[in-house]
Amino acid sequence: MALTATFVKNVRHTGAPAGDKYSDGGGMYLLVNAGGKYWRFDYRFDGKRKTLALGVYPAVSLEKARKRRDAARELLADGIDPGTAKKEAAAEKAALNENTFKAIALEWHAMKSKGCAENTSAKRLTQLENHIFPAIGSRPVADVKPPEVLAMIQKVAASGTAYTAGRLREICGQVFRFAIQTGRATYDPAAAMRGAIEKHTVNHRPALTTRREFGEFVRDLRDTTRADPLTKLCARFGLLTWTRPKELRQAKWDQFDIEAAEWRIPAIQMKTGKHLQAHTVALSAQALEILPKLRELSGHTDRLFPSGGSSGGVISENTINNLFRRMGYIDKQSHHGLRASARSLLSERGWSTEALERQLDHKEANQAVAAYARSQHLDERRRFMSDWGALVAALESGDNVVAFPSKAA
């Protein structure tokens, strides 16, 4: 006699050790024991008696269990073992879950993060999580089509961030190529997206590059009352060392060797990726004069420029730019632009391009050269950083005559 939905709902375990079986016909029955209610299907295949689990009640209703039984009987009629077919389907589903774009992207990200700057790795992950995963993360990587990638990057580009859209296409391409290399995909749909969005126009940060204009700026910075002492010292120290803003903000006291007049920034904190060694910033006399003043303000912490609002934090990335805006230099000078100012003014004084580029930590295009470039030009870099400190001091004092340095070692 076939079961009814009411009976299945109300039946209880009688206490029988092996459980209670209630047949629905066609090999299907309800097994009731102390643990719950289970749908089972008994069948024979190749002369052997077998049992197939059809699900657990109430997640699987009587109606759904019957559909699964009927599907199993159809497989048997075609000479297919439904138990084997179920295992193969489960394995295929597991493989698809393992080979989703998100799963492979996270695997790729973990690989790329080794030896990569922490901020770069975190930025990649944020872009994946905010833009790429919501669009194609759950899709099997081998099934993603070019229009899916295009829709994602066009949405980002339409919001006014063409640069980010371009970076997302590059990240997708790297993930697809990793999938191809590991045998989980056969082509890269992101490659077809080249030229699909408007090319990002690079807007250089504003920077003063003439001695007269820069001299006015350093004197305004000296005289400004629009900043607290720590912010003002941070701006001046950045001006004298011309590191990137984040490298400056993250500076720690244990990175400084006062006797050697050096600031050694750990390789992993630098932008251009996997360095062979720490990046050395030679400290001029003018830069060294700032450190005792900073000690009075922040020597109780491990950071030169701690945040007043959070334990262990550092000043905001907008702190110096906001100061320059208040000084009236909103479209003339930026924090990052201090690097361009120094680079331009020192180039005019005859220092070599190669040494200046090494001090700026600009990436060497030739990888063979890059392997050796980190330690090159250090003597010259010490000399021109000293020259830069003297030049800034002269401009700050309003001296119109600044002696050119000797290039002799």
Handedness of CA 182, 188, 189, 190 (dihedral sign): positive
pLDDT for residue 123: 86
Q: Is the four-CA dihedral 173, 179, 183, 184 of positive or negative sign?
A: negative
Confidence of residue 404 (pLDDT cuts 50, 70, 90): low
Task: For residues 242 and 336, give the distance between their C-alpha atoms in angstroms, rounded to a whole number.
Answer: 8
Confidence of residue 313 (pLDDT cuts 50, 70, 90): confident
Q: Which fold has domain 101-193?
A: DNA polymerase; domain 1 (1.10.150)
For residues 259 and 86, which has the higher predicted lDDT (pLDDT)? 259
Tens of pLDDT along 213-231? 999 999 999 999 989 999 9
> Could you tell me the pLDDT band of residue 1, with boundaries at 50, 70 and 90?
confident
Q: What is the pLDDT of residues 69-123, one digit of tens each?
A: 999 999 999 999 998 888 888 777 766 667 899 999 999 999 988 867 677 788 8
Q: What is the pLDDT of residues 146-178, one digit of tens each?
A: 999 999 988 888 876 777 888 899 999 999 999
pLDDT tens sequence across 177-194: 999 999 989 999 988 877
Domain 211-397 top-level CATH class: mainly alpha
Strand partners, 56: 38
Name the more confident of 110 and 330.
110
What percent of the chain clears pLDDT 70, i.e. is strictly above it? 87
Rounded to whole angstroms, how far apart are CA atoms 138 and 238? 45
What residue segments make up the domains of the chain, in order of their start? 5-96, 101-193, 211-397
Which residue numbers are catalytic?
Answer: 244, 274, 336, 339, 362, 372
CATH of domain 5-96: 3.30.160.390
